[in-house]
Structure 1
């Protein structure tokens, strides 16, 4: 009888438990988009806010996404006047040999040819031409080996982490026909986590947005009108007119090697919002890597960003915190000074979660002496920061650690009090202290 009763209870309770747990499944499923990648990240290109990430801190092969670093240093060198767009490069044995390998992405270069930096750059940005990339590196630094030093220095400056550069192109070194940079191994390949790739793309677009003028070109003729004319179709098949076209896409860089798989750093703009997506080693549901797999994964990230997120203003300029509208002032004509947020606080957030964010005040303790500001104080003096804090759930933060805050400043000036006023205050404070001590002494007698 007891056994039958237990079976009856199980038949009733277990279905109830299953029904109760059904409601928890969507929460877990919502944390993952169902993309098949080794690593991925989605960020707001304007603020650097991370909207989604999946294994974004694990170093993985980056293949030709490496070329974004070469592009950054190229633009920087042009800006500094170190080289010019119309400067000519003379082909050497290294670049000639690499350019003739049509199993790689290349535009063939003539052994005795000269090419402008602009020509080489366009073939890099549109067609991912590897020999052209090496030629640009040699023009800037003399050799690819020396250019690696620039890449590492710039990576450190930009705050990239867990990166390893062994060449300028992203190829496996075994494709460089024994001419790979000194100090690197013959089988080495560039690696970086998705978060660092996104950070590199973020800074490239912030500092040199003109890169999109070229990365948005879907087809161009290299050396048009000459016997060397070659059609260059952009490897970014999400551009207008291509098979995986996606509205708003205008960059940025694909990457494919056996080690790195099918990877892509894409950017798109819609309705005033621009996002950057990185997918690494994308595969389909059966585990097979392909161009389609990487663009399908990118599409899923783009759709998620544009449909689920919006830019919200949480705090207007001049906002005052209710719990602390002012700071005490020492040696001033006034005993306190009003403080407020300097600029509006806007951020791209998941629309359904916008009510979870509240502003938080962080006073810079280094600006205070015994919890007070010292006069004189200028209007607009920075006294701290305001940041948005999410009350519950996951917040991925920002691509740069110094992002996501705005200055809190003084709203008026406070002049330093004159010597007479300060003297009288000192005397008053002295006698006030004496009086307080006397009262305390007398009270003590009666305890």
Structure 2
């Protein structure tokens, strides 16, 4: 595989006539036209934004069943032809984007996620790789990540995924099967996980990341601690953590989860503290606010050298801030625009069948808001930022909010994340918008 202020993005992003029913990005979300998104791409290209590091996220929504705790856009696929049609229009979406920004741009990151990407058969995987190759350049320094599910990934498929150019694997894990399983999905036995890891190491993948979801219904601190202990015994390269949030408005199937079984925020913080303690005592280094890596890992080196970068795909040692998302419900992040695609498969196909971008909604940031977001991201990367960057009424307002919450201190020349703030930031982080839930424009 080879608000009142004018938005900084000078291209108009016009409202669509069909806004989405359930906002993903909160109260600030507005409908966006396909033409408005194309104009935003044109403006970013003219500014040279894509020359500073570009990430591509390809979203494959298909699964064999819908897990009750699933918090992603997902479609149950029982017919391979459904995936074939999806891949065809995925190619159309890639073409619409590269027609605006130019073909052959080098990627710093490539992430294929879902859903269950490993549900694709061999020919479909090969076609997916060819589609990406047709539109972007994948160099040897590109961080290539493929999400897998252990119960649907064989050694042969791992060999194919590696042969197609993916050097890193990511596995979402909600529970390691125990004597009292929660029955929420993405649950695997220690034996299955160990077998998958052995196969991955045999194929020589560079990094294997466990994406651990905690704070699940009925979950206890003790269960989290036991699960992390088993993970450390398996010794993955990296561990990524995020708290589960029940959202029955966006995900109607989650109405089957009793809200009274959901852990409280303090309980989730206790779970995260147990995760940190277990992983650090096992030799992992705490990266940023929610990742962990071995001392010799690229992320550990990037953190110690001040090169750590965070975008909506997670932490990276690559200097990339812009993420283009393609596929059902995929999210793109430009300097002053956060946008997303249709979450209805029919609407997504309809747009692309008519040669239009499937972008339907998003948030447009003013210059001030974009700077505030960047400051918060910097704090999540380096855990501190120069006090001089908080000059001006709006930035001081943000600093006052962060201090009032006990998340940071401002002393001498630096704004520093507090010890408690490092634990609490993750609980306040909105995974969809990439903002802190308390951080609003002054």
What TM-score comes out, normalization by structure 2 length? 0.23
* Structure with greater helix percent: 2
Compare relative contact order (CA 8 Å, sep 6+) and give the higher one, 1 or 2: 2
